[in-house]
């Protein structure tokens, strides 16, 4: 039988497992929101601990919180940040839309643990109060959006951006390495005029470079913190210097450029910063899907597809077809991209659905946002390591397809005109001839003229990949 203790909140007493640090409001949430299995993300829990740590320090500095209590709260928060007490944060994503239960979960855990650090007990006789001490100068309405922004910015800076940069570097190296390989281009899934493999990959590089700029452009808004707005943005029950100083403290302990939001009403009432940042992530997903699809098409085969590039063979591809190997990294990345696009729909709907002074879709928004960052970062790392870094050209196949393409006839436009060039291509296709044989048969060119004018290496222009 589970040993319990009695905890109390404004609604009365409730039994809580005696070995747990949480209190009454966490217990009520566990009983009232038994919805699915998704829990509050660990990075969000850590962001809440960082927020409480910063608030305790600033409240002490402003003379609002006794030094011994502040020190104990900070020590308890540091324990959470070190990975201790992980099982003390069991609440579901699907709870109150302001994240109040998760804010109180953190308040209760830190209050009980701080009381123990001070030599006291957990429970109703604790020496540190979850609301009066841990939540001093705060409301769930400014704490939770602050933690959302802290978690989001740190995830983008520490996980996603490094992996995006690494993949971009890999593809840039491939673009330079393959700069002299002339291949046939394709538009509308049909043969087109030539380009180099390096030029083709340089397009992928430019896409990712644009994505990085869009993501970085979104960061200053994410760096704005709601803390200090309290319930509706007015800053009720806070010291005049609190908002600025707590943002500075968070910036110091995270080495991130956090600032106090210039308008707390916007910071509480909307999720616009994360909506816009996720829009940039959706753009990255669109680019990654295009790149992954191009790679698997170019690598299709090995004998009956395009087969212009080879990618690493990582694992068997079929339980029935011996020797089959599939472009699994490309498939994984495209599934990641689909999920990110779905997350974007949910985040946009949640962001658009706030009413008056508070958005109440926050747990869902941050859950999806952090999942997107994790999926994209991990997906790019896997794709980079197990696919992109191993891309190699199949020069023989590239040359074969280049020489067989009817679209090389485009080089003749300026010599004999579009109509005659089209006639050459159509005759060659209909009769199974080479372009040269068709042109000579029609009497439009000599062999020498064809060889002088139809030179694929001169058809790729001067658009070399940037270095």
pLDDT at 463: 63
Q: How many domains does the chain have?
A: 3
3-state secondary structure of 246: helix
- The verdict on 166 and 132 lying in the same domain is no
The verdict on residue 11 lying in a domain is no
Residues in the chain: 467
Question: Tens of pLDDT along 41-98?
Answer: 999 999 999 999 999 999 999 999 999 999 999 999 999 999 999 999 999 999 999 9
Provide the pLDDT for residue 467: 45
Identify whether residues 278 and 209 lie together within a single domain. Answer: yes
Catalytic residue among 29, 137, 175, 188: 188
Of 87, 104, 136, the residue at which a domain comes to its end is: 136
8 A C-beta contact, residue 223 and residue 256:
yes
pLDDT at 317: 84
Which pLDDT score, from 0 to 100, does residue 2 have?
83
Q: Phi and psi of 192, rounded to 5°?
A: -135, -165
In terms of domains, do 311 and 275 share one? yes
Same domain, 379 and 434: no
Q: Which CATH number fits the domain that encloses residue 113? A: 1.10.275.10
Q: What angle do CA 84, 3, 94 make, to 5 degrees?
A: 55
Residues 38 and 111 in one domain: yes
pTM: 0.95
Neighbour-count burial for 266-294, b at 16+ CB within 10 Å, e otherwise? bbbbbbebbbebbbbbbbbbebbbebbbb
Q: Are 303 and 170 in the same domain?
A: yes
Dihedral (C-alpha) 448, 451, 453, 456: value to the nearest 10 degrees?
Answer: 180
- What pLDDT, on the 0 to 100 scale, is given for residue 324? 86
Percentage of residues in the chain having pLDDT higher than 90: 96
Residue 12 lies in a domain: no
Question: Is 386 part of the annotated catalytic residue set?
Answer: no
Domain contains 351? yes
For 365-374, the pLDDT digits (tens) are: 999 999 999 9
Per-residue confidence (pLDDT) for residue 464, from 0 to 100: 59
Q: Which domain holds residue 203?
A: 145-224+263-394
The reply to whether 370 falls in a domain is: yes
C-alpha span between 388 and 394 (Å, rounded): 15
Do 410 and 435 meet the contact criterion of CB atoms below 8 Å apart? no
| Residue list for the binding site for substrate | 98-100, 129-132, 139-141, 187, 319, 324-326
Residues 132 and 160 in one domain: no
Are residues 286 and 372 both part of a single domain?
yes
Same domain, 321 and 424: no
Kindly report, residue by residue over 215-262, the tens digit of the pLDDT.
999 999 999 999 999 999 999 999 999 999 999 999 999 999 999 999
Residue 14 included in any domain = no
The active-site residue out of 318, 353, 429, 446 is: 318
Of 394, 428, 445, the position where a domain reaches its end is 394
Domain end residue (candidates: 136, 155, 184): 136
* Shared-domain flag, residues 50 and 102: yes
Binding-site residues, please?
98-100, 129-132, 139-141, 187, 319, 324-326
- Alpha carbon distance 411, 193 (integer Å): 9
Residues in the chain, pLDDT under 50: 467
What are residue 366's phi and psi, to 5 degrees?
-70, -35
The question of whether 318 is a catalytic residue gets the answer: yes
User: Are 118 and 180 part of one and the same domain?
Assistant: no
Extract the runs of DSSP E, i.e. beta strands, from 268-412: 309-310, 392-393
């Amino acid at each position: 039988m589970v040993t319990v203790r009695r905890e109390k909140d404004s609604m009365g007493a409730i039994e809580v497992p005696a070995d747990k640090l949480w209190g009454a409001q966490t217990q009520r949430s566990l009983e009232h929101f038994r919805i699915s299995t998704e829990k509050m993300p660990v990075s969000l829990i850590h962001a809440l601990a960082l927020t409480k740590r910063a608030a305790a320090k600033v409240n002490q500095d402003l003379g609002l919180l006794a030094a011994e209590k502040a020190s104990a709260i900070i020590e308890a928060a540091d324990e959470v940040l070190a990975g201790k007490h992980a099982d003390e944060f069991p609440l579901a994503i699907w709870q109150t839309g302001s994240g109040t239960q998760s804010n109180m979960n953190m308040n209760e855990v830190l209050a009980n643990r701080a009381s123990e650090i001070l030599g006291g007990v957990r429970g109703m006789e604790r020496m540190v109060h979850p609301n009066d001490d841990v939540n001093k100068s705060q409301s769930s309405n400014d704490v939770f959006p602050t933690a959302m922004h802290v978690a989001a910015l740190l995830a983008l800076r520490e996980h996603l951006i490094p992996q995006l940069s690494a993949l971009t570097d890999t593809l840039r190296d491939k673009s330079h390495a393959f700069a002299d390989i002339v291949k046939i281009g394709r538009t509308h899934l049909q043969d087109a005029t030539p380009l180099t493999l390096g030029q083709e990959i340089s397009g992928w590089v430019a896409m990712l470079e644009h994505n990085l700029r869009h993501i970085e452009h979104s960061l200053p808004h994410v760096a704005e913190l709601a803390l200090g707005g309290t319930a509706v943005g007015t800053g009720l029950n806070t010291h005049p210097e609190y908002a600025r100083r707590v943002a500075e403290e968070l910036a110091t302990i995270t080495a991130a450029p956090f600032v106090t939001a210039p308008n707390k009403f916007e910071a509480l009432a909307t999720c616009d910063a994360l909506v816009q940042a996720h829009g940039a992530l959706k753009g990255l997903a669109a680019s990654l899907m295009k790149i992954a699809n191009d790679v698997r098409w170019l690598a299709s085969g090995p004998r009956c597809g395009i087969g212009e590039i080879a990618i690493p063979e990582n694992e068997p591809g079929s339980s029935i077809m011996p020797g089959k190997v599939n472009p699994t990294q490309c498939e994984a990345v495209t599934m990641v991209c689909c999920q990110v696009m779905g997350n974007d729909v949910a985040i946009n709907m949640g962001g658009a659905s706030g009413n008056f002074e508070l958005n109440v879709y926050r747990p869902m928004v941050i859950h999806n946002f952090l999942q997107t960052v994790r999926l994209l970062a991990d997906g790019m790392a896997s794709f980079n390591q197990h696919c992109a870094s191993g891309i190699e050209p199949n020069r023989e196949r590239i040359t074969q397809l280049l020489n067989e393409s009817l679209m090389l006839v485009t080089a003749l436009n300026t010599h004999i005109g579009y109509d005659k060039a089209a006639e050459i291509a159509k005759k060659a296709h209909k009769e199974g001839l080479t372009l040269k044989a068709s042109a000579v048969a029609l009497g439009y060119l000599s062999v020498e003229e064809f060889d002088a004018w139809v030179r694929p290496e001169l058809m790729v222009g001067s658009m070399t990949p940037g270095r």
